[in-house]
Each structure stands twice: as structure tokens, then as C-alpha cells.
Amino acid sequence: MIMYSASIAPYFQPFSLRIRGLAAYVLTDQAYAISVAEYETNDERHRLWYYVEIAATLWVVWQVGTVVGAVLGASVPDALGLDFALPLVFIALLVPAMKDAGTTTAGVVAGIVSLGIATVGVPLNFDLPIAAVIGILSGMAVDAWRNV
């Protein structure tokens, strides 16, 4: 969420701290991805309302889904093999963001590193943040190399 917040913060700079705090509270992966994609073509006066509509809707769905999962989750048989669902969500968010060599490199490198790190057993679930940082640095390196 830190990376999402840092990336989306410039779009909300004109708004009060209270509004930005509420926007941060309803931030989800999906709200971030949909909003930032829209901001590239949408003028500034609609950005906050667009985000609030998306984020609030997703926040409500998240809360309902959490309650349903807590109540019914244990009754879902392991044989259904739903372990693939979470990676699919992140792939669906990642692919549209891969628009140039830098972002594509960042996504591919982070994916490869996360798969490699997952087999090592990094403590405290630091495997994804480590992969994200390595992916970002590789994307920045590609962008810097291309601009030379």
C-alpha cells in the first residue's frame, strides 16, 4: 500500500488532509489500478470523485467478502484448488500497467524474483516486498539506460 499511496498521492495533493485520509482508508489494489489508468485520460476535476466511487464500492465488496470468507471459508474444500485466484488478480492488475520497456521489465523481473524467492523461504513474508523493490529498480535502470 505504501507504493500505491506514493504513486497516487500527487493526484490528491490539492485536497485537504481529511479527504486524503479518507481516500487512503478505502485504497485497495484494484481501486489504485483502475484509478491510475483512468487518470491518464481524465481531467483533474473528476479524479477525486472517480476514485471515491471506485474505491468505496470495492471497499464495501471487500468488507462483505471478508465476512463471507470468515463465516464460510473453512467449509470450502481444499480439493477446489482456489490457490491460483490471488495471483490471477495481481496479474490482471499488472498487465495493463505494462506500457513501455521500463514497466514491462519491472513487472517481469518482480514476477521472476518473487517465484525464485518463494522457494527459499524468506522470513516474515518479505518475499513480495523484496521482489517489488528489485523489479522497480530494474525498471528504473531500463528507463535510465534508454534515456542515455
Secondary structure class of 144 (helix, strand, coil): helix
**pTM above the 0.85 mark?**
no
Residue, of 8 and 84, whose pLDDT is higher:
8
Cβ pair 52, 25 in contact under 8 A: no
Residue, of 97 and 139, whose pLDDT is higher:
139
Cβ pair 33, 96 in contact under 8 A: yes
Summarize the confidence of residues 12-17 as an average pLDDT: 90
Crossing angle of helices 17-25 and 47-72, in 10° steps, is 40
Write the CA distances from 65 to 1, 33, 135, integer angstroms: 20, 20, 31
Task: Give residue-wise pLDDT tens across range 98-122.
Answer: 889 998 999 899 888 887 776 677 7
pLDDT at 30: 87
Q: What's the whole-number average pLDDT of the chain? A: 85
- Share above pLDDT 90 across residues of the chain, in percent, rounded to a whole number: 29
The set of cell numbers assigned to 107 is 513487472
Q: Has residue 124 got a pLDDT over 70?
A: yes
Crossing angle of helices 2-12 and 17-25, in 10° steps, is 140
Write out the E strands in the chain.
none
Which amino acid, residue 133? Answer: V
- Those residues with Cβ within 8 angstroms of residue 94's Cβ, 6 or more apart along the chain or in another chain: 107, 111
Summarize the confidence of residues 122-134 as an average pLDDT: 83
Task: Give residue-wise pLDDT tens across range 36-88.
Answer: 888 877 776 688 889 999 999 999 998 999 999 899 888 888 777 766 676 77
pLDDT at 58: 92
Place of cell 534508454: 146
14/9 Cα distance (integer angstroms): 10
